[in-house]
A and B are shown apart, each in its own frame.
Chain A
Amino acid sequence: MLEIKGVHAGYGNLKILRGIDMKVQTGGIVALLGGNGTGKSTLLKAISGLIPLMEGEVTFDGVSVSKLKPHERMRLGLVQVTQAKEAYPAMTVEENLVLGAYTRKDREATKADLQKVYDFFPVLRERRKQLSGTLSGGEVQMLVIGRGLMASPKMLMLDEPSAALAPKVVLEIFANINRIAKSGVTILVVEQNVRMALILAQYGYIIRDGVIMMQGEAKELISDPAVKESFLGGSVSDTTKALRN
């Protein structure tokens, strides 16, 4: 569904991505993993079109989108869910959701989808008249995901859905992402929480210093010693040892 070939991108003269190749098949969940400052968010911006490509090509659904503006890519069904802190705090929950369907002309179906999103996240229905700035972290995360769904996407890109959330809430959000994937939306999830993301996804890419360092089936990655070493932390006994010294 999404194909990225030899993408170089960055800000001004600063090149951050140095030749990224990636593929997301239709259906299922792909995880893009890496620590802070490795280029995850930059890659996401390059895919959604917020920053221009310096080199390479992005193809979505068989169409090259490299030259398209962000709002044009979004209209093709390539929808990026923003980070949770990027809801519009001065708008109500419902206004945020309606904004997600901004490009759609099919009024009836949009209304039906709004109800679907409310059924999916009942807490949003309870809070629909509230300003989104008054929601809790988990609720805002549900709001931005719901807002993405309102665009009736073919593919949803999630930017760190677990950021700054309590582990229990993360579990709930990830269960919801899984449900969305089951309903037929392809998902690319960008995460720092490597363990959780690899449990959720079927396939994973690990990015470091602007290049793909490693890729493979999620099951294999999670048991790979190199991945364990750099992302999942040492074993429990190692941690205990370190504490005693």
Chain B
Amino acid sequence: MGFDFNSLLAFIIFGVTIGVVYGIVALGISLIYSGLDIVHFAHGEMYMFGAFFGLVLAHNVGVPYPVALIGAMILTAILGMAVERVFYRRLTRAGGGYTVAGMGMIICGFGMSVALVNAAYFFFGAEAEPFRANLDYIPRLTFPGDINVPESYVLTAIISVLLMTGLHYFLRHTKTGLAVRAVAHNKDIAYLMGINVPLMISLIFGLACGLAAAAGVLIGPMQSVQVEMGYLMLMKAFAAAVVGGFGSLPGAILGGIMVGIFENLGAAYISASHKDIYAFLLLILVLMFRPSGLFGVEAKVKA
């Protein structure tokens, strides 16, 4: 069997597309990390809830897919902000991520993850549901060498680029974005600048959860939607964030793409039944040679 260059290219294209989705979830994890100095362990569940909200909107309410995407993002953002406001804020008020309260915060995140999974079982049931989306208006891309890229992958690529550009513009070129970056760097100084810090933290949470929801709705048509989907996504996104350098936003995206490619190539050329191992193999390799991640900065210069 000779080496087939075309299929290699195909694996890379699919890897990049899936990787960008990992990257979007990792972006949210990184945003929350830079805003609150905590790793949000219930973020996979935000992704799962986002997928279900999108599914309900598309199937039961019957809105078109793009509207379902936006609706799911908004609903999940509200859910995320509510969770932050009711549960996390008491803990973050007692101190940041490097204090004892920060440890409590991590455990609270795990608990929230379990609680949300069970709430999802209650509301959405245990069955995996296919996400049927009408995407006929999206062109199916054909690359030379008979590589067909399905509509859902093309759409994922487009939406991801839009989301990332939007986030970049928001953080770099708007006053509120500047305030978010200020809060991410140092909350006390942000207060002295007259910034309403708790409000900004809510906003960071809402943004991050909205991004996770977008990832969920994008993955929906490729795989199916089920309650346990968040766990693996959290792990992959976490790997992506660490590979890219924790707290770095471009790093999160590039880390996600690397995880996606690595995973697809591993599944294709080594063993498809161990697909989920490769992300962590990459994680271990990167941490062995560059403990701060590929794009991480040594000092705490964030956002």
Binary interface encoding of chain A residues 39-65 relative to chain B, with 1 for a CB under 8 A from any of its CBs, else 0: 000000000111000000000000000
Q: Which residues of B contact A133 (CB under 8 A)?
A: 301
Shortest Cβ distance from residue B196 to the other chain A in the assembled complex, whole angstroms: 5
**CB–CB B194/A50 < 8 A:** no
| B301–A151 touching, CB < 8 Å | no
Q: Is A172 interfacial (CB 8 A cutoff)?
A: no
**Given A88-B182, A95-B178: A102 and B193 interface contact (C-beta under 8 Å):** yes
Q: What A residues does B287 contact at CB under 8 A? A: none
Interface string of A59-75 (1 = CB under 8 A from B): 00000000001110011
Contacts of B181 in A (CB 8 A): 88, 90-91
Q: Which residues of A contact B301 (CB under 8 A)?
A: 89-90, 133
**Of A69, A82, A151, the contact of B189 (CB 8 Å cutoff):** A82
Whether B1 sits at the interface, judged by CB under 8 Å, is no
Contact between B302 and A90, CB atoms less than 8 A apart: yes
Q: Is B179 on the interface with A (CB-CB < 8 A)?
A: yes
Q: Does residue A100 face the partner (Cβ distance < 8 Å to B)?
A: yes
Complex contact B196–A71 (CB within 8 A):
yes
- The listed residue (A48, A50, A74, A99) touching B182 by CB distance below 8 A is A99
A residues contacting the other copy or chain, number (CB 8 A): 25
A86 at the interface (CB under 8 A from B): yes
Q: Chain A residues with Cβ under 8 A from B178's Cβ?
A: 91, 95, 98-99, 102
The answer to whether B175 touches A88, judged by C-beta atoms less than 8 angstroms apart, is no
Contact for A102 among B179, B186, B188, CB less than 8 A: B179
> What number of B residues sit within 8 Å (CB to CB) of A?
19
Tell me whether A25 is interfacial, beta carbon within 8 Å: no
Is there an interface contact between B303 and A71, defined as CB atoms closer than 8 Å?
no
Please tell me which one of the listed residues B179, B192, B197 contacts residue A80 in the complex, with CB atoms under 8 A apart. B192
Taking a contact as CB atoms under 8 Å apart, the answer to whether A90 and B303 are in contact is yes
Chain B, residues 263-278, CB within 8 Å of chain A (1/0): the string is 0000000000000000
Contact A98 B189 (CB under 8 A): no
Nearest CB in chain B: distance from A32 CB, A: 17
Q: Give the interface of A toward B (CB within 8 A).
A: 48-50, 69-71, 74-75, 79-80, 82, 86, 88-91, 95, 98-100, 102-103, 133, 147, 151
